[in-house]
Amino acid sequence: MLEPIRFLLPGPSYVPEDVRQALARPLIGHRSAAFKELYARVGARLPAVLRTRGEALVATASSTLVMEAAIASCVESQVLHLVNGAFAERWHQISVALGKSPDRLEAPMGEALDPDLVRRALRRKRYEAVALVHNETSAGVMNPLPEIARAVREESDALLLVDTVSSLGGVPVETDAWGLDVVLAGTQKALALPPGLTVFTLSGRAAERAAGVARRGFYTDLLRYLAKHREGGTITTPAVSLFYALDLQLDRILAEGMEARWARHQRLQARTAAWAEENGFAFAPAPGARSWTVSCLRPPDGMAAPEIVQRLGERGYVVGGGYGDWKSTTFRIGHMGEVRESDLEALLAALAEVVVACTAS
Amino acid sequence: MLEPIRFLLPGPSYVPEDVRQALARPLIGHRSAAFKELYARVGARLPAVLRTRGEALVATASSTLVMEAAIASCVESQVLHLVNGAFAERWHQISVALGKSPDRLEAPMGEALDPDLVRRALRRKRYEAVALVHNETSAGVMNPLPEIARAVREESDALLLVDTVSSLGGVPVETDAWGLDVVLAGTQKALALPPGLTVFTLSGRAAERAAGVARRGFYTDLLRYLAKHREGGTITTPAVSLFYALDLQLDRILAEGMEARWARHQRLQARTAAWAEENGFAFAPAPGARSWTVSCLRPPDGMAAPEIVQRLGERGYVVGGGYGDWKSTTFRIGHMGEVRESDLEALLAALAEVVVACTAS
């Protein structure tokens, strides 16, 4: 049984005590038989989380590195970035920094990307890849990934590069069924692990294309990870302690089951939405665009979002402030990872107290 | 007091219990005041380890990423790689993978790089940078870094990029006094921390040059780390748990003092050398090239190096096997990090037993 969770940031999320204790195990050499077994155990189970019959890999780095690696490895020049939030913005910036020729298709912050607009953009120009963020943590927006994937597949032979940092493990991500080519996620969100590792997969199609791309770099070369994985290990010294945690947490995730985990996250979102409506809090994202893992809320008139975050903090609850342009007008509840209905109810009760306190003051 | 250390790999090295327990602390947001304080504490003390009045930075990645970043950020095209082991070989390979035009100046495995040859190479051609590995873990070879640095400084305006992965914290590395431009080290060697973070510094000169280099990438852009550091944080979500460990271990390292730490490593090397001579074990590296942190030894005739490693393992001691071409003929004792004379004596006693057992069998 987990302790009550009062840490509901939109990442890093709460990490269970047993998983944190796993970090403290004595180190082993990364070329030892013990590490090879650990790596093989992770590699055997991670594809079930990524919903692929392909290979699942792990980078010792933040997700940004694998976002960069996806561009460096799969794109010689032409890439279309779908942008409706801070992390998609960063991905575009990465393509610029790598000297690629990225185009942008934007939706306003808070709105989901429109698959029809993607379709039209792909009719106008040929792209090697389309890159998007499934769930924009910054705005609490979930993009219609299956519909976008279908549009990309039907209109082009572009590779689909998908950041699922705050969706994987909390929201359906069907790598094979939807035909996604590179799927990547940091471990510190709905997987409920500490930050420092990024899990990812690449399709056979992506691997073939990458083989033709020049200057993929080294740490950013996805094919290098794949080749080393097939030898049973990592490209460089891995963060062994973080692998201990991943190994243990995969047990918990798969014991719950992916479908059950997604359903739990959906219930947490629905409960948050119901509470918000009853209490005069508005969702910042448009109705069809609301994330299952993070709710971005605007408080009723007369209540300041940063004050709500602070007063929740005084009551022992950690939630996220607003991001970027929405910093002062929204706050974010990360109902992701191991958060249960009981944890959310306790938070909402505290939030109700805060509303009373804010109204009185 | 530390427990007896029986884990003497040439990295990852033994990590003290209290440092491992620090990993298990509950997570905090990387934008929280608590993380900013932690980051500032690390940033205030790390320059003393790197011996610089400049800024010390931390990447959430293996050292290879920062080796790549140093090339991507500081080199438009022409770089001279000094190569006498596996990790220098990798650095050259990284420059190739990035599409640079790297030249090589080699010394045979087991021999140190010759500063005079470096001098001559710099007279023949102009380079933007010279890259070398201070201590080649693969061969147990320590290169004469101050002499090489002097040669580079006197003969050229090339930047000096130095991998100190298995020397920093165990061997003098005088960043400012020797005029080193980029100094990088993974934390899992003589700093006695888990792998997953890389500490580094870059000189003002290096930062100026980097500003003129195109396509530095994002995760590989040293200037981006510097800019974020000056805002008090990291470029992406950092491996917070590993920062907890770094914060605590910096206390231990600086309480011992850098000079005392270097002297301890030198004594460990000298004791290993004396034991080897008494017992008919030869150092694989040439006499002037022996590392203070890792001893690479060839057993006497009739004894197989892999058998020695295995028999030590049966006695509870973990040492490293040979690397690459020396896999079957050498083994490596990592007397680095927190290893004390008493730990080394116990290992050498076990090794003496193994010698008897090998001779008898």
Whether residue A361 is predicted with pLDDT greater than 80 in this model: the reply is no
- Contact by Cβ (8 Å): B330, B284: yes
Residue bearing tokens 């690479």: B296
- Phi first, then psi: what are they for A267, rounded to 5°? -65, -40
Interval A55-73 mean pLDDT: 98
Distance set, CA A3 to CA B9, B27, B229, B282 (Å): 38, 15, 35, 56
Distance set, CA A50 to CA A45, A203, A254 (Å): 9, 12, 11
In chain A, what residues touch B186 (CB-CB under 8 Å)?
A: 237
- Contact by Cβ (8 Å): B347, B9: no
Residue A2 has what pLDDT? 84
Residue bearing tokens 């460096």: A72
CA–CA dist B25, A130 (Å, integer): 39
Interval B23-28 mean pLDDT: 97
Q: Compute the nearest-CA separation of B184 from chain A (Å).
A: 15
The residue of chain B nearest to residue A213, with distances taken between CA atoms, is B97
- Phi first, then psi: what are they for B331, rounded to 5°? -140, 165
What the block records as the tokens of B53 is 């009045």
Q: Single out the residue of A27, A9, A7 nearest to residue A17, CA to CA.
A: A7
DSSP string spanning A151-187? HHHHH---EEEEE-TTTBTTB---TTTTT-SEEEEES
Judged by CB atoms closer than 8 Å, whether chains meet at A186 and B237 is answered as yes
Q: Compute the nearest-CA separation of A248 from chain B (Å).
A: 14
Q: Compute the nearest-CA separation of A144 from chain B (Å).
A: 26
Whether residue B87 is predicted with pLDDT greater than 80 in this model: the reply is yes
- Contact by Cβ (8 Å): A213, A68: no
What the block records as the tokens of A22 is 């796993």
Whether residue B1 is predicted with pLDDT greater than 80 in this model: the reply is no
CA–CA dist B145, A61 (Å, integer): 29
Judged by CB atoms closer than 8 Å, whether chains meet at B14 and A27 is answered as yes
**What is the CA B197 to chain-centroid distance, rounded?**
12
DSSP code at position B232: T
The residue of chain B nearest to residue A65, with distances taken between CA atoms, is B219
Residue bearing tokens 């250390």: B5
For residue B207, name the pLDDT band (cuts at 50, 70, 90): very high
Name the residue among B24, B97, B219 with its Cβ closest to that of A61: B219
Residue B358 has what pLDDT? 87
Judged by CB atoms closer than 8 Å, whether chains meet at B194 and A27 is answered as yes
Residue B89 has what pLDDT? 96
Judged by CB atoms closer than 8 Å, whether chains meet at A62 and B65 is answered as no
Judged by CB atoms closer than 8 Å, whether chains meet at A194 and B236 is answered as no
Residue A68 has what pLDDT? 98
CB pairs under 8 A between A and B: 180
pLDDT in tens, A305-340: 999 999 999 999 999 999 988 999 999 999 999 999
Residue B2 has what pLDDT? 84
Judged by CB atoms closer than 8 Å, whether chains meet at B218 and A63 is answered as no
Helices B240-256, A240-256: axis angle to 10 degrees equals 150
Residue B267 has what pLDDT? 98
Interval A292-300 mean pLDDT: 97
H or E element at residue A135? strand A135-136
Q: Compute the nearest-CA separation of A31 from chain B (Å).
A: 10
In chain B, what residues touch A23 (CB-CB under 8 Å)?
A: 20, 23-24, 241
Judged by CB atoms closer than 8 Å, whether chains meet at A97 and B215 is answered as yes
H or E element at residue A296? strand A294-298
- Mean pLDDT of all residues in chain B? 97
CA–CA dist A325, A86 (Å, integer): 10
Is the backbone peptide bond immediately before B12 cis, with ω within 30 degrees of 0?
yes
pLDDT in tens, A105-150: 999 999 999 999 999 999 999 999 999 999 999 999 999 999 999 9
Share of chain A above pLDDT 90, in %: 96
Which one of A60, A76, A93, A222 would you mutate to disrupt binding with B, by most B Cβ within 10 Å of its Cβ?
Answer: A60
Q: Compute the nearest-CA separation of A155 from chain B (Å).
A: 30
- Contact by Cβ (8 Å): B57, B226: yes
Judged by CB atoms closer than 8 Å, whether chains meet at A194 and B218 is answered as no
For residue A60, name the pLDDT band (cuts at 50, 70, 90): very high
pLDDT in tens, A155-187: 999 999 999 999 999 999 999 999 999 999 999
Q: Single out the residue of B101, B117, B187 nearest to residue B152, CA to CA.
A: B117
* Exposure string for B230-257, b = 16+ CB within 10 A, e = fewer: eeebbbbbbbbbbbbbbbbbbebbeeee
Q: Compute the nearest-CA separation of B73 from chain A (Å).
A: 11
Which one of B76, B237, B240, B310 would you mutate to disrupt binding with A, by most A Cβ within 10 Å of its Cβ?
Answer: B237
Interval B173-195 mean pLDDT: 98
For residue A1, name the pLDDT band (cuts at 50, 70, 90): confident
Residue B359 has what pLDDT? 84
Q: Single out the residue of A105, A110, A87 nearest to residue A287, CA to CA.
A: A110
Q: Compute the nearest-CA separation of B186 from chain A (Å).
A: 9
The residue of chain B nearest to residue A310, with distances taken between CA atoms, is B32
How many other C-beta atoms can be found within 10 angstroms of the C-beta atom of residue A17?
12
Q: How buried is residue B36: exposed, middle or buried, by Cβ count under 10 Å (0-12/13-18/19+)?
A: middle
In chain B, what residues touch A12 (CB-CB under 8 Å)?
A: 27-30, 237, 240
Residue A72 has what pLDDT? 98
Interval B109-118 mean pLDDT: 96
Whether residue A360 is predicted with pLDDT greater than 90 in this model: the reply is no
pLDDT in tens, B283-333: 999 989 999 999 999 999 999 999 999 999 999 999 999 998 899 999 999
- Contact by Cβ (8 Å): A134, A184: no
For residue B355, name the pLDDT band (cuts at 50, 70, 90): very high
Residue A210 has what pLDDT? 98
For residue B84, name the pLDDT band (cuts at 50, 70, 90): very high
CA–CA dist A326, B338 (Å, integer): 48
Residue A282 has what pLDDT? 97
Residue bearing tokens 């705005």: A139
Residue A359 has what pLDDT? 84
Q: Which amino acid does the sequence have at A267?
A: R
DSSP string spanning B90-158? HHHHHHHHTT-EEEEEE--TTS---HHHHHHHHHHS--SEEEEESEETTTTEE--HHHHHHHHHHH---
In chain B, what residues touch A21 (CB-CB under 8 Å)?
A: 24
Interval B263-286 mean pLDDT: 97
The residue of chain A nearest to residue B87, with distances taken between CA atoms, is A236
pLDDT in tens, A4-26: 999 999 999 999 999 999 999 99
Which one of A63, A165, A234, A237 would you mutate to disrupt binding with B, by most B Cβ within 10 Å of its Cβ?
Answer: A237
* Exposure string for A241-273, b = 16+ CB within 10 A, e = fewer: bbbbbbbbbbebbeeeebeebbebbeebbebbb
In chain A, what residues touch B227 (CB-CB under 8 Å)?
A: none
Which one of B60, B90, B95, B243 would you mutate to disrupt binding with A, by most A Cβ within 10 Å of its Cβ?
Answer: B60
Judged by CB atoms closer than 8 Å, whether chains meet at B237 and A93 is answered as no
In chain B, what residues touch A7 (CB-CB under 8 Å)?
A: 26-27
pLDDT in tens, B238-254: 999 999 999 999 999 99
Whether residue B361 is predicted with pLDDT greater than 80 in this model: the reply is no
- Contact by Cβ (8 Å): B12, B195: yes
Q: Compute the nearest-CA separation of B347 from chain A (Å).
A: 18
Judged by CB atoms closer than 8 Å, whether chains meet at B61 and A220 is answered as no
Residue A46 has what pLDDT? 98
